[in-house]
Homo-oligomer: A and B are copies of this chain.
Amino acid sequence: MRVQISSRLASITGSAIRDIFKLLGDPSIISFAGGNPASSALEPERIADFASQALRENGRTILQYGQTEGYAPLRESAAEFFRHNGVHADPGHILPVSGSQQGLDLICKALLNEGDTMLVEDPTFLGALQTFRTYGARFAAVATDEDGAIPESLEEQIRLHHPKLIYLIPTFQNPTGRTLSLERRKRIAEIVNRYEVPLIEDDPYCDLRYAGSPLPAIKSFDAQGYVLYLNSFSKIISPGLRVAAVVCDDDALLRKLVVGKQSVDVHSPNLNQAIIDKYLRSGLLQQHVEEICASYAKQMAKMQQMLARFPASISYTKPDGGIFLWCTLPEGFNATELLTTATKRGVAYIPGTHFYAQAGQHHNTMRLNFSNASLENIETGMERLRELFISQGLR
């Protein structure tokens, strides 16, 4: 068969990451590469109960075609749930979607034309970069430091590039784990409203906090609705159910997100939305999140404790939550190339280069995930990594 692939996908392969995940089929490799919740954090029996309840009470609605705008009870319970992040949205402004990734895709579909510029943190979530690329986005980077994106840089880049869209992960960022300060949240909300540039606030990790005080979302300071807030139930309930939600206060834009969704999948499956709705209304979620956090906090502490024994030339982030740490090796060391040796020694990570908008840079960085590894595996895997780095001459 001879076919010509569309220009939007012709150059997109995603292979680098996929090849890494293929390696991970090998059970002898301890993986810090994914972004998965701990297997022990998943609750098959509870989810089966919620599914049965929902189907018993409302089965013929749930199994029938649903509304593109989402399962009405979930729009209400999600609106209520997001209040703890300072996001006060009308249920009519909540669009349940099939994972945050679909939220990103629909926003791009509604707003981006080929060649439009997006402002992103550098590094940022590689899955988001892939979606943006399928819409022909060009990228400009917002400078960041320990407190996240720097508002002065954001404003400068807006003036310079007139971006169509901004993408930030303000809390426990993927891949760095860093968190945007309160003051900067206010300033960034003000800037995007003043320049009238929509900002996607991607916030899947905010409830996974192990230290410090919760911060309100940028969205909570959004005066005119330029912040599109994205939150997901993947990290606190289940990624396999694929339920997230977009908060969009602008009716005209929301309508276009719905029209776009209609054309890509008609609607998200009702059963999955009903399960999440049941969980949100059960009163059980807070305790579940506390239990996850207690466990992840120990896993993060163990990984940091191991990193403290690494050669001093390696620096790493010290987040207050989330599921990732970000390591920087001295210039000249290549974490991308070292991965092959690492997997031979039974440990895997994601080379940091894949998180940068410009390909082929920052080969001295890497992302480590701790949420899906036991304390024992973190100890063993990190020791393997330490020995590898020392064998490479790192001091």
**Which positions in A face B, CB cutoff 8 Å?**
1-9, 12-14, 34-37, 39, 42-45, 47-48, 51-52, 55-56, 59-66, 98-99, 101-102, 105, 109-113, 127, 130-131, 134, 164, 196, 198, 224-226, 234, 238-242, 249-250, 252-253, 256, 259-260, 262-272
Contacts and interface: CB of A to CB of B under 8 A. Distances in A.
Determine which residue in A9, A34, A56, A102 has the highest number of CB atoms from chain B within 10 A of its CB, and name it: A9
Q: Which 7 A-B pairs have the closest CB atoms?
A: A44-B59, A63-B238, A42-B63, A48-B55, A1-B250, A240-B270, A44-B55
A101 B266 contact: yes
A135 B61 CA distance: 32
Nearest to A13: B259
A164 to B, nearest CB: 8
29 contacts: A1-B224, A3-B253, A4-B111, A5-B110, A5-B256, A6-B111, A9-B260, A12-B259, A36-B64, A36-B65, A39-B60, A42-B60, A42-B63, A44-B56, A44-B62, A44-B63, A45-B56, A48-B52, A48-B56, A48-B59, A61-B240, A62-B240, A66-B240, A98-B269, A127-B263, A130-B263, A134-B260, A242-B266, A242-B267
A47 B64 contact: no
A229 to B, nearest CB: 14
Given A45-B56, A105-B263, 20 more contacts: A1-B225, A1-B249, A3-B250, A44-B55, A47-B59, A48-B55, A48-B56, A51-B55, A51-B271, A61-B240, A63-B241, A98-B98, A102-B264, A134-B263, A240-B270, A241-B269, A242-B265, A242-B268, A269-B269, A271-B272
A288 B3 CA distance: 39
Contacts of A6: 109-113
A107 to B, nearest CB: 10
Contacts of A113: 6-8
A253 B51 contact: no
A179 to B, nearest CB: 24
A201 to B, nearest CB: 15
